[in-house]
Structure 1
Amino acid sequence: MTITSALVLYAVLWFMTFLIVIPIRLETQGDLGEVVPGTHAGAPENHHLKTKAKITTLAAAVMWVGLYFIITSGVISIRDFDWFNRMGDAPATAPVDGTDG
């Protein structure tokens, strides 16, 4: 895994997790009964974004480490997702000692 792909994987995990975490424990103006005139009752009053960003960073880091080890160890490869056999057979590997067979 290259550095670029590792960063992209972390960024995707972070944003997906953040979009899941944002609505958790959200306090709206309607919930608190203090709706500002001209705003929607569902507008957030207390969103706690710093705390949610910290939780997201920690959760994304844990998921990234797990996916990093799965990807780099070869437990799951791209050929595992070739359900229609479009990639053909895997190429044969040469013996380690340098002989022909």
Structure 2
Amino acid sequence: MEWTSILAIYALFWVVSAFVLLPFGVKTHEEAGVEKVPGQADSAPVNFRPGLIAKRATILSAVLTALYVANYSFGWITAEDLIFFGPDARR
């Protein structure tokens, strides 16, 4: 596998990981007991930390990319293993 392909797969995993990790560890003003600014949404986070989310996404995407490349190299799960129904399904 080319290194550019690995980089592209890493970038895809990073973006997906960042969006998946966004809701974890975030508190609203009501949960934190802090006064809201007039006009502020009820669901607005009080402790949004994009740097922490980026670090977590970097670690998670590195692990997922390593697993993907290892599976590509060793062939643990192939396309034929993912056929669960239909005329070509294994019995």
Short-chain TM bin:
0.7 to 0.9
Give the alignment's Cα RMSD to 1 decimal: 2.1
| Distance in 1 of aligned mates of 2:63 and 2:87 | 33
TM-score when normalising by structure 1: 0.68
Aligned partner of 1:26 in structure 2 is 26
Relative to total residues, which structure has the larger helix share, 1 or 2? Answer: 2
Matches of residues 5-44 of structure 1 in structure 2 within 5 Å?
5-32=5-32, 33-44=34-45
Q: Whose RCO is larger (CA < 8 A, sep 6+)?
A: 2
**Residue range with higher mean Cα deviation, 24-33 or 10-19:** 24-33
SS in structure 1 of the partner of residue 5 of structure 2: helix
Deviation at residue 81 of structure 1 after TM alignment: 4.9
- Stretches of structure 1 that go unaligned for 5 or more consecutive residues are 86-101
Judged with a 3 Å threshold, the aligned counterparts in structure 2 of structure 1 residues 68 and 84 are, in CA distance, closer, same or farther, namely farther
Deviation at residue 50 of structure 1 after TM alignment: 0.8
TM-score when normalising by structure 2: 0.75
Number of equivalenced pairs: 85
Which structure 1 residue ranges, 4+ long, deviate > 6 Å from structure 2?
none
- Percent of paired sites with the same residue: 28
